[in-house]
A and B are shown apart, each in its own frame.
Chain A
Amino acid sequence: MDLHAIVLVLDSAVRLSVPLILAALAGLYSERSGVFDIGLEGKMLVGAFAAGAASAVAGSAYVGLLAAVGASVSFALIHGYASISQRGNQIVSGVAINFLAAGLTALLGYAWFSQGGQTPPLTPEGRFRNITLPGAETLRDVPVLGEIYVELISGHNMFVYLAFLAVPFTWWVVYRTRFGLRLRAVGENPAAVDTAGISVTWLRYRAVIICGVFCGFAGAYLSIAQSAGFVRDMTAGKGFIALAALIFAKWRPWPVLGACLLFGLLDAAAIRLQGAKLPGIGEVPVQFMQALPYVLTVVLLAGFIGRAVPPRAGGTAYVKER
């Protein structure tokens, strides 16, 4: 593989990892506050559908993004109501969110647009287009660096840059702000937070809403930035890969970026290596590459490479002492 091929694989790895980064960060806020969320997939899916539908009708990408965030946050609030206010089982609630999303997006898409569950193809105004960074044209002829700058760094849509900026932003919020300190505390020991006179319920609701916003962005990226419209089951398990990445990163922002890039690279390599023979190994089945993120996560969870310890109060509702 020459430089050009490597840059192309890396470029596609970046594109594939963007929804994972956004969704995994979404999960980070929620799970750090003590609300487990296996409904990332579902929230991304409603986000993608709402973005595709609204953008097709209104002809504006920003309306689409707004709709995506709105839809995703309302699903996040259902999850919040069930797991924070009603103290229901958070896993069950997440499963319900995923089914509701899978069913509703297909049903409404089918009923509203009658195109087999797709939303109509978008006009250029309905999509987020690629941004050419300054200097890309002049640097094109510089060897090596020019190619990397033009192909890999420049020429992505807004979401790609937002996702990469969201990582340091999340790190700052979680580790350097008062809100972040409380967020981490409420996920480890909600009783202590309550004793300090801070509302556990409101903190967790805020975390769940932030989770919804990020999932909405991840969904909008899929339907109105990466592609030109929603197709049914568009997320295709990306929410679960993001969940795996979050665990793989042990619920920390920078490692989330690393894990998502790794899983994105695996995905890109799987597409690239389809049918190719590797020296010494022979043909690697594409399914093996697809299963690798899940296998790696299980191995990590097993504690054979490091140890993934979830937030201590995760999965349990807080019952205020009376």
Chain B
Amino acid sequence: MSAEAPAAAETARPRRIGLPGWIEYGLIPLANLAAAFLVAGLVVLFVGENPLEAVQILVWGAVGYGEGIGFTLFYATNFMMTGLAVAVAFHAGLFNIGGEGQAYIGGLGVALAALALDRFVPWWVTFPVALLAAPVFGAAWALIPAWLQAKRGSHIVITTIMFNFIAAALMVWLLVDHLSPAGSMQPESRTFEAGGTLPKLGSLFSAIGLDIGGAPVNVTLFVALAACVVVYYLIWRTRLGYEIRTVGFNPTAAAYAGISPVKITIVAMLISGALAGIMALNPVMGDQHRLQIDFVSGAGFVGIAVALMGRTHPIGVVLASILFGMLYQGGAELAFEIPSISRDMIVVIQGLVILFAGALENMFRPGLTRGYAVWSALREPPAAGTKGGG
């Protein structure tokens, strides 16, 4: 149904011309972020604590010592993958809210690979198999919503929300009834042997003089960074990326140009689901070494905040996921030091970032545009020909 295609395109992020890049991609996101943190500070005040002290503890907990940095990077790895997943879908004008479910099912792929191979082969054999299984499973979970959006016009936001819940029910059923070892009451798979675990980066960091202690940051970090590069090339340097962006801007124009919005919608969602699926490598094989209930624990949703804050660009996604990694790790430290600020503060900040960097992204634009107009008028006086002096 073509009437819904423009509605899907609404979720794309229209770029307005007229402002220089440093305002568009620097000042406006910073102003939005500042507003979000200002309100978060007010919440801390409201709880009766000192926001500045809270920030100090948070930053120290996140980057003040080796283990904190390790944990920050571990969380950032999750958010890079889910952030990229949301970003790629955004470029096609699609809002993939189902990263949570796609990562959850991706974990099933990872766990099946690890459970099948861990007793027979070393990790570097299991790893590529899992690295293949995770995106395949994640993409498979995105396929039905993608197909329904492309072919039957079912709103992707609603279907992916529904698929999150379906994934949750499916995984609980699998874990309770099928994957948990006989005689165990725990709804989780058996613990992987050495062949199903990914090496941590402790020795790598100690080579540069940083002791990250027991932090679970592992080789998935490099997978995530590589994915950022791949996504950059895909979106801005390939024909497929061009087609994805065209459909995102204007599906009707894309169709006239001979690009099939149906095909691009499905392909973009498959890529998105695959990226979300890869996220599962990090917690399942890198940290917990078994498949647990709700191991994604909201990372799929953090991806929305990360993609919005990173303005759907891989560099922005990396920066935003490090910030959210800091929030997750520092927030744990904060909850420990100031018990009245529980870890739920992170969720509040996440909501505020989505609100200010996403829904209210244009709040500061009129003011900044006016300010810029005044400023450039002052800088370039109307007298012509003054440029010759340079």
Contacts and interface: CB of A to CB of B under 8 A. Distances in A.
A301 interface: yes
A97 B351 contact: yes
Contact of B162 (A91, A108, A244, A315): A244
B264 to A, nearest CB: 20
Given A100-B351, A244-B162, A298-B159, A82 B340 contact: no
A243 B165 CA distance: 13
B346 to A, nearest CB: 7
A291 B43 contact: no
B157 interface: yes
A314 interface: yes
Contacts of A295: 162, 166
A82 B351 CA distance: 13
Contacts of A92: 95, 304, 308, 354, 358-359
A47 interface: no
Contacts of A285: 173, 177
A78 interface: yes
Interface in A53-86: 78, 82-83, 86
A296 to B, nearest CB: 9
Interface string A287-298: 110110011011
B210 interface: no
A314 B95 CA distance: 15
B219 to A, nearest CB: 31
Given A91-B95, A301-B158, A106 B362 contact: no
A273 to B, nearest CB: 14
A314 B48 CA distance: 41
A18 B354 CA distance: 31
Given A88-B362, A91-B97, A110 B344 contact: yes
Interface residues of A, number: 51
A198 interface: no
Interface of B: 3, 7, 10-11, 43, 46-48, 95, 97, 144, 148, 152-155, 157-159, 161-163, 165-166, 169-170, 172-173, 176-177, 301, 304, 308, 340-342, 344-352, 354-355, 358-363
Given A82-B359, A294-B166, A295-B166, 19 more contacts: A82-B360, A86-B359, A88-B361, A91-B157, A92-B354, A93-B360, A96-B351, A99-B351, A99-B354, A100-B355, A102-B347, A102-B351, A107-B345, A110-B340, A111-B47, A117-B342, A287-B169, A294-B169, A298-B148
26 contacts: A82-B355, A86-B362, A86-B363, A89-B359, A91-B11, A92-B354, A93-B360, A96-B355, A97-B351, A97-B355, A99-B301, A100-B348, A102-B344, A106-B342, A107-B47, A107-B341, A110-B340, A111-B47, A111-B341, A237-B165, A244-B158, A285-B173, A291-B165, A291-B169, A295-B162, A301-B148
Interface of A: 38, 78, 82-83, 86-93, 95-104, 106-108, 110-111, 114, 117, 237, 240, 243-244, 247, 285, 287-288, 290-291, 294-295, 297-298, 301-303, 310, 312, 314-316
